[in-house]
Chains A and B, each alone.
Chain A
Amino acid sequence: DTAVSQTPKYLVTQMGNDKSIKCEQNLGHDTMYWYKQDSKKFLKIMFSYNNKELIINETVPNRFSPKSPDKAHLNLHINSLELGDSAVYFCASSPGPGIGSPLHFGNGTRLTVT
């Protein structure tokens, strides 16, 4: 069983479209995250939710909207996609938001905007 699973694995779409990426974790963790990895492999945190509440919201365009229906799911919706949104998006979870809580990553969603 995959601990953190994201769908889809690949997403190719045109500029201006709206798309969603889904994430689910079966580890019983309280905290979930979205990270963006650009073409140079740089990993940058976007959002974090703890028990369905937003606790970290980095400087991300408001075209990106996370939603957490329950603590096992964290979805990412992106409106009006732009070329610069092309990247690999990783979902992750951790036992809690506190210090020393290791991240468990999914295998990523490669988003290509044409």
Chain B
Amino acid sequence: GENVEQHPSTLSVQEGDSAVIKCTYSDSASNYFPWYKQELGKGPQLIIDIRSNVGEKKDQRIAVTLNKTAKHFSLHITETQPEDSAVYFCAAQYSSASKIIFGSGTRLSIRP
């Protein structure tokens, strides 16, 4: 069935260090993988996305990698800052149904 697993559920890193969040998906037909950031009291906001014909995408301090063979994709945040503290969600869009399925979220805390 449609499933996206996300790890870790919580992550605490020192300011300036890197953070990595990993996800796996179950449907090999998935071909769109967005990442969302949710701050307290707000809705999730798209921060970066990647399509299945690309292995890596970078936007300033944020990068996403995709391994279609292993059905893994990861979010990398470098030089973390206090404002990076939030809950991050990976997601996958299943072409059979066009719906976006979310992972269970990672609460990222940046220690000063």
State the A residues within 8 Å of B (CB).
Answer: 4, 40-45, 48, 55-56, 90, 92, 97-100, 102-108
Contact = CB atoms under 8 A, between A and B. Distances in A.
B105 A90 contact: no
Contacts of B70: none
Interface of B: 31-32, 34, 36, 38, 41-46, 49, 51, 87, 89, 93, 95, 97-102, 104-105, 107
Contacts of B41: 107-108
Contacts of B49: 100, 102
Contacts of A44: 102
Given A45-B99, A56-B99, A105-B36, 4 more contacts: A99-B95, A100-B31, A100-B51, A103-B46
Contacts of A43: 44, 89, 102, 105
B89 to A, nearest CB: 7
Nearest to A94: B100
Contacts of B93: 99-100
B32 A41 contact: no
A105 B44 contact: yes
Given A99-B93, A100-B32, A100-B93, A45 B100 contact: yes
B98 A103 contact: no
A97 B43 contact: no
With most chain A CB atoms within 10 A of its CB, the pick from B100, B101, B107 is: B100
A107 B98 contact: no
Contacts of A106: 43
Given A99-B93, A100-B51, A90 B44 contact: yes
A98 B51 CA distance: 13
B104 A42 contact: yes
B45 to A, nearest CB: 7
